[in-house]
Structure 1
Amino acid sequence: MAEERDFLPVNIAVLTVSDTRDLASDRSGDTLVQRIAEAGHRLADRRILRDEEAEIAASLREWIADPGVDVVISTGGTGLTGRDVTVEAHRAVYEKEITAFATVFTLVSYQKIGTSAVQSRACAGVAGGTYLFALPGSPGACRDAWDEILKGQLDYRHRPCNFVEILPRLEEHRRRK
């Protein structure tokens, strides 16, 4: 018989990257906030920033340094245009990239939007004991990433493994031997 585990809520910050959205028009951020709450997690913070790499990276670093933030999910700026710099900002702060996240996200997206999935540069990584996920800016992409990947991986009860169970070990390399 499988061991029963209790749900462990995590603290999640949501960042929308957009030159045009505000809180009233941020449907992608709203989608994530709603799903975070429905899953039983805590919204640690929410921001909207312009497509400026330095500003995005600074916000990510601030959340990485905050012990009250376990996960950051950004939405927007993962495409191919000149203003899409979220991926570069994320990669500038990663200690380790979670390369399989992009692969799995592409597989999920392909089932929904076919070959248009190749236009996303969704990515994920870890820095300072914090998980960082960069999602496309559409509500559909946020729904797909949450429902098909993040909801399970951010649930301690998910088997055979999940991100929450290894959260305490993300910084074990920094501890004294």
Structure 2
Amino acid sequence: MKSRSMEEHRQSSPSNIKCGVITLSDSRYQESLQKKNHDISGEFLVDKLNEKYKVVAYEIIPDDSKILLETLEVMISDFNTRIIITTGGTGIGSRDITVETLQGLFEKELTGFGEIFRYETYKELGAGAILSRATAGIYKRCLIIALPGSPNAVKMGMKIIGNELGHLVKHLKE
């Protein structure tokens, strides 16, 4: 059952939203330095977000908390982004630092996103979904969404959240 007020909010949501994309990957970062860029997930996000909004910043960085924090600050303050989507660094490996770094920043965490993401992953892949630590939250009036690095995970994440982005940004302005 659809909510009438939610549909009204969606219709009155802003469409001129500045977005940023950050890929966290040691290997993709090295490839980008050698001009051998094959960032399928990051490029998908850029293309998908540009269908409705405007991507003003896109970076490929290594799995490094300090660099992630610096990149977020630049995207928010210099580019005035309202949505930043990261891809990569959400696993359980020793170099996977995205979730811990972001959770330390979040003023509010949107736990429902991670729950739905893992549920949808479970329907497709089974119990391996417990490895997913996808998350979302708010920092400095910017929605930050952390997705795994695989192209299929990024596509699923956008399927879940894509139509709600404007709606969420609308509430950030309140």
Common topology (TM > 0.5): yes
Does the CA contact (< 8 Å) of 1:65 and 1:128 recur in 2? no
User: Hey, what's the Cα distance between the residues in 2 that align with 1:119 and 1:6?
Assistant: 33
Write the letter of the residue equivalent to 1:9: N
Alignment partner for residue 57 of structure 1, among 69, 72, 79?
Answer: 69
1:101 aligns with 2:117: no
Matches within 5 A, 1:73-88: 73-88=85-100
Bigger drift between 68-77 and 54-63 goes to 54-63
What are the ranges of 5 or more consecutive residues in structure 2 without an aligned counterpart?
none
Contact 1:60 1:90 (8 Å CA) reproduced: no
Distance 1:67 1:90 in 2: 19
Is 1:120 matched up with 2:127? no
Counterpart Cα distance in 2 of 1:6 and 1:130: 15
How far residue 5 of structure 1 moved from its aligned partner, in angstroms, is 4.3
**1:78 aligns to what SS in structure 2?**
coil
Map 1:3-82 → 2, pairs under 5 A? 5=12, 8-21=15-28, 22-23=31-32, 24-38=37-51, 40-66=52-78, 68-82=80-94
Partner in structure 2 of residue 173 of structure 1: none
- SS of residue in 2 equivalent to 1:30: helix
Structure 2 counterpart of 1:152, from 163, 166, 172: 163
* CA RMSD between the two structures: 1.9
Would you identify which runs of 4 or more consecutive aligned residues in structure 1 move more than 3 Å? 1-7
Q: Which residue of 2 aligns with 1:163?
A: 168
Q: Identity, % of aligned pairs?
A: 33
CA contact (8 A) 2:49 2:55 kept: yes
Greater helix fraction, Structure 1 or Structure 2: 2
**How far does residue 57 in structure 1 lie from its aligned partner after superposition?**
1.7
Q: What is the CA–CA distance in structure 2 between the aligned matches of 1:78 and 1:6, rounded to whole Å?
A: 29
Deviation at 1:76, TM superposition (A): 0.1
* Secondary structure of 2:127 counterpart: helix
The question of whether the paired residues in 2 share the 8 Å contact of 1:11 and 1:70 is answered with yes
- After TM superposition, the score normalised by the length of structure 2 is 0.85
- Deviation readout 1:131-159 (Å, 9 max, x if unpaired): 01110000100000001x2211114xxxx
Structure 1's unaligned 5+ residue stretches are 156-161, 170-177
- Shift in Å, 1:9: 3.1
SS at match of 2:27: coil
Q: Tell me if structure 2 keeps the 8 A contact 1:61–1:93.
A: no
- 2:38 maps to amino acid: S
